[in-house]
Amino acid sequence: MRKFFAPFFAPLLAASLSALVSLGATFTASAAEPQPQPQPLVSVAWLQQHLGDKNLVVLDIRSAIDGGGAKAYEDAHIPGAVHSDYDKAGWRVTRNDVPFMLPTVAELEKLIGDLGIDETSHVVVVPAGVSYTDFGSAARAYWTLKVVGVNNVSILDGGVAAWKAAGLPLEAGVSKPSPTIFTATLNEKLLSRIDDVTRVEGGKNATLLDARPASFFTGKEKAPNAQAYGHIPGAVNLDSASFYDAATNKLKPRSELAALAAQLPAQGPVIAYCNTGHWAATDWFVLHELLGRKDVSLYDGSMVEWTAQATRPIASSRTKWDDVLKALGFGS
């Protein structure tokens, strides 16, 4: 009997083994294929489809900067989102009497880990979606996460406002994160410190990019914490608001962003700064993340740190008449 059935079963057995080997190879190849990196900007449609993803963390950062904060979050937020107030939770700290600096690695490990974020997470940062300054909050939080080694980060295009406008569901209350252990890996290429700026100030081996409105750049007005009017010598001005479409409360289309960025030298490193590293985060995000210019870093101390020491040089178009107008209450 065994000899009789062997001719019939042998081809079937061989085919089954071949199929198993092929299937195993398929699984092996699939596991070996690198997963695509998340896009820096994701749409509300994308987020709705991926809310159930295992490693996804939706991070609502609304704060007083956008007129919101914890109360706005508790009243209505994207389902499952956790809240971390950009202005109060520790995303920026005072160090050496300079406010709004990047926290220490230990401080960031605790902040990020307590939010349930680790090295495998895909974090979607959610701003309110109400202004270019509000987008700067998201860009700064995004940059901070990237600096300490959270590689998969996105910003929700249009923020909470876009989610609401799409008629998508919201929930009230508080979604409490499950704290985890996060171990930072500092990416020094994304961060410039004052010594880096001192080396390139006034030189030609890097572009200093001032992301503030022109009135700050020229010295017609200054931030309350800055000690002098004007800009770092040799800097060029590209206002972060120019990248933003106030009508849609989103960044402008990529082609328009590229056209604006074309004002900068095409080659060489770029160091973005502003008053406190907030507006400059938008310039960094556009250049580095959306337009793929990988030699761009952010100087978090910016003008507040630069002007804290009176001996550091400043370029300014401010006149005595500006000071007179300020004394009379007509200027800054």
- The tens digit of pLDDT for each residue in 72-121 reads 999 999 999 999 999 999 999 999 999 999 999 999 999 999 999 999 99
Distances (CA, A) of 205 to 33, 198, 200, 230: 39, 12, 6, 22
pLDDT number for residue 99:
97
**Domain coordinates of the chain in residue numbers?**
41-186, 189-327
Q: Which of 29-33, 135-139, 171-175, 193-197 has the lowest mean pLDDT?
A: 29-33
Q: Residue 322 — very low, low, confident or very high, per pLDDT cuts 50/70/90?
A: confident
Q: Which CATH class is domain 189-327?
A: alpha beta
Q: So which residues are the catalytic ones?
A: 274
Give the tens place of pLDDT for each residue, 112-156: 999 999 999 999 999 999 999 999 999 999 999 999 999 999 999
DSSP state string for 31-64: HHSPPPPPPSEE-HHHHHHHTT-TTEEEEE---G
pLDDT recorded at residue 229:
97
Say whether 189-327 and 41-186 share the same fold: yes
Distance, in Å, from the CA atom of 144 to the CA atom of 89, rounded to the nearest integer, reads 13
3-state secondary structure of 161: helix
Q: Say yes or no to pLDDT of 330 above 90.
A: no
**195-222 pLDDT, tens per residue?**
999 998 877 789 999 999 999 999 999 9
Options 3.30.160.150, 3.40.250.10, 3.90.480.20, 1.20.1560.10; CATH of 41-186: 3.40.250.10
In order, the DSSP letters of 169-208 are --B-S--------------GGGEE-HHHHHHHTTSSSSEE
272 class by beta-carbon count within 10 Å (0-12 exposed, 13-18 middle, 19+ buried)? buried
The string of pLDDT tens digits covering residues 226-257 is 999 999 999 999 999 999 999 999 999 999 99
pLDDT score recorded for residue 321:
66
Q: What is the mean pLDDT of residues 183-187?
A: 97
Average pLDDT over residues 159-184: 97
Average pLDDT, the chain: 90
Q: What is the reported pLDDT for 111?
A: 98
Check residues 47 and 15 and name the one with the higher pLDDT. 47
> Does position 31 have pLDDT exceeding 80, yes or no?
no
| Position 14 pLDDT exceeds 80 | no
The confidence score (pLDDT) of residue 90 equals 98
Share of the chain above pLDDT 90, in %: 82
What pLDDT is stored for residue 11 in this prediction?
45
Q: What is the pLDDT of residue 325?
A: 64
Q: What's the pTM?
A: 0.88
pLDDT at 35: 57
Report the candidate in 206, 242, 214 with the shortest Cα–Cα distance to residue 230: 214
Are 58 and 81 within 8 A, CB to CB? yes
In this model, does residue 57 exceed pLDDT 50?
yes
pLDDT at residue 8 is higher than 50: no
| Overall residue count recorded for the chain in this entry | 332
Q: What percent of the chain has pLDDT over 70?
A: 88
Q: Does residue 5 carry a pLDDT above 60?
A: no
